[in-house]
Amino acid sequence: MSLPADYHMHTPLCRHATGEPTELAAQAVRLGLREIGFSDHNPMKRDDFDEWRMFESDLDRYVESVQQARRDHPQLTIKLALEVDFIPGYEDWIRDLAARHPWDYLIGAVHYVSESWALDNPEKLSEWRHRDAFEVWSAYFERLTLAAASGLFEIIAHADLCKKFCFYPQQDCTPLFAKFLEAANRHGVAMELNTAGLRKDCREIYPSPRMVHLAKQAGVAIMFGSDAHAPGEVGMNFAEAVALAKSAGYTNYCRFKQRRREEVEL
Ligand SMILES: [Zn+2]
Ligand SMILES: [Zn+2]
């Protein structure tokens, strides 16, 4: 059995990843993957927005580095994409970015639950201690639901990223998950099974087995991402992610070309 496509990979242009696209592609070939996609952190209009994304002036260089990987590894299908931060009010900027290159897909991601706090940033960990976990999870899922309903994205990334540092609320979060999944289903947006969670404090794929089961019941399609920030992370723990998907009843996953979706057998 060959592993599914790895659609979530970063490059050094985001300033916190190592390995050129061609090196990640070489690793994918070694692992026997047939398809991958690069989805580096999108630039913002202001380059000083934060320090963990590419500069706007590097966008063309990013595309060129992915094209170089394609030239170096013709046996591998390599998709061109972005992981785009969804922040209410930035829709026009996202549409602007979407029009600049022939993206195969855009992954919508929520990291920011306010203008200045990315809840997965280890340097802002103290912020969690000043806040109520349920309020943060509620704000996070509210934005994730807006992202799914925005019509801007084919995929939603790491759906329960808010568990990264293990600040779990006491309250039942099922209604938060259900609202997001209902929006994802209604707008035909796929949900990512992201294995990076296994490498974080939470030690669990994003999203949780429970959410993957709820997603299947809600009719939400899935795809897979390692969120590789280094060549050694390409396709990491994919067998585990496939097993999770199958345990929830999934028999297919999605691939994308020029922002159109096709389902393939798992
Ligand atoms: Zn990153
Ligand atoms: Zn992310």
Query: Residue 62: pLDDT above 70?
Result: yes
Q: Ligand 2 center to residue 29 CA distance, Å?
A: 24
Neighbours of 179 (CB within 10 A): 16
The bound ligand whose nearest atom lies closest to the alpha carbon of 10 is 1
Average pLDDT rounded to a whole number, residues 233-243: 98
Collapse the DSSP code of 261 into the 3-class scheme (helix H, G, I; strand E, B; otherwise coil) and give the result: strand
Ligand 2: centre distance to CA 182 (Å): 21
pLDDT of residue 240: 98
201 neighbors 164 (Cβ within 8 angstroms): yes
When pLDDT is cut at 50, 70 and 90, the band that residue 252 belongs to is: very high
Nearest-ligand number for the alpha carbon of 110:
2
Judge whether 253 and 4 are in contact, CB under 8 Å: yes
Q: How far is the CA of 111 from the centre of ligand 2 (A)?
A: 7
Which ligand ends up closest to the CA of 230? Answer: 1
Q: How far is the CA of 214 from the centre of ligand 1 (A)?
A: 27
Separation of 10 CA from ligand 1 center, angstroms? Answer: 7
- Across the chain, mean pLDDT equals 97
pLDDT class of 2 with cuts at 50, 70, 90: confident
Question: CB within 8 A of 253, min separation 6: which ones?
Answer: 4, 5, 221, 222, 223, 224, 245, 263, 264, 266
What residues pair up with 39 in beta bridges, in sequence order?
81
Q: Please, which pLDDT band fits residue 66 given cuts at 50, 70 and 90?
A: very high
User: Which amino acid is located at 265 in the chain?
Assistant: E
Whole-number Å distance, alpha carbon 229 to ligand 1 midpoint, is 7
**pLDDT tens readout for residues 217-230:** 999 999 999 999 99
List, for residues 121-134, the tens digit of each pLDDT value: 999 999 999 999 99
Tokens 């940033």 correspond to 121
SS3 152: coil
Task: Quote the CA–CA distance of 88 and 173 in Å, as a whole number.
Answer: 22
Look up residue 3 and give its DSSP letter: P
Ligand having the closest approach to the CA of 51: 1
Cα–Cα dist 17/146, whole Å: 28
Report whether pLDDT(265) > 80: yes
Q: Which amino acid is at 97?
A: L
157 Cα to the center of ligand 2, angstroms: 6
The β-bridge partners of 109 are: 85
Q: pLDDT tens digit string along 141-181?
A: 999 999 999 999 999 999 999 999 999 999 999 999 999 99
Tens-place pLDDT, residues 179-213: 999 999 999 999 999 999 999 999 999 999 999 99
- Ligand lying nearest the CA atom of residue 15: 1
HEC letters along 9-52: ECCHHHCCCCCCHHHHHHHHHHHCCCEEEEEEECCCCCCCCCCC
> Band of the pLDDT at 115, cuts 50, 70, 90?
confident
Is pLDDT above 80 for 1? no
Helix, strand, coil share (%) of the chain residues, nearest 5? 40, 20, 40
- pTM summary value: 0.97
**Is the pLDDT score of 113 beyond 90?**
yes
Mean pLDDT for 243-247 is 98
State what percent of residues in the chain have pLDDT above 70: 100
Instruction: Report the C-alpha gap between 179 and 187 in whole angstroms.
Output: 12
Average pLDDT over residues 234-243: 98
- Give me the pLDDT at residue 205, please: 98
What is the Rg, in whole angstroms, of the alpha carbon atoms belonging to the chain? 17
pLDDT digits (tens, 9 = 90+) for 79-102: 999 999 999 999 999 999 999 999
CA atoms within 13 A on the CB side of 66: 25
